[in-house]
Structure 1
Amino acid sequence: MMKFIANFRKDEDGAVTVDWVVLTAAVVGLAVAAYTSIETGTTALTGTTSTFISAQDPNLP
């Protein structure tokens, strides 16, 4: 039993999995933050463009 516990403590395979989970969560978090920023900017730009186009008179020469 002591040999099993000693081998279990030396085994680091699970630690690599935990590292990848943490890194993946960080990448997903950054992607969500970037998406939110881009969405906010494009919504504002679309609104400004809509206002500008609505103010134009198509009957002018």
Structure 2
Amino acid sequence: MKKLLENFKNAEDGAVTVDFVVLTAAICLLGAICVNAFAAEPVRMANNMSNFMEQQCSDGTCD
């Protein structure tokens, strides 16, 4: 059993696959963080534009 565990510890088969999975996960996480950081800005701009348009046409006539 000890020899089996020693062989498992020293084996490097699949190391490239593990590296690929870890790097892919890191890139996906970084992308999600970037999207989350900028996702609120278009909504804020749309709300500001909507509020501005409501103020311009608040009395039934648009300026």
Structure (1/2) with the larger helix percentage: 1
Q: Same-fold call, TM > 0.5?
A: yes
Q: Give the one of 7, 10, 13 matched to 1:6.
A: 10
Q: Give the one of 20, 25, 36 matched to 2:24.
A: 20
Aligned CA RMSD, in angstroms, stands at: 2.4
Deviation at 1:10, TM superposition (A): 7.2
Deviation at 1:12, TM superposition (A): 2.5
TM-score by length of 2: 0.69
Unaligned runs of 5+ in 1: none
Count of matched residue positions in the alignment of Structure 1 and Structure 2: 58
Partner Cα distance (2:32, 2:14) in 1: 31
Partner Cα distance (2:61, 2:42) in 1: 31
Q: For 1:54, what is the secondary structure of its paired residue? A: coil
Unaligned runs of 5+ in 2: none
Q: Identity over the aligned pairs, expressed in percent?
A: 7
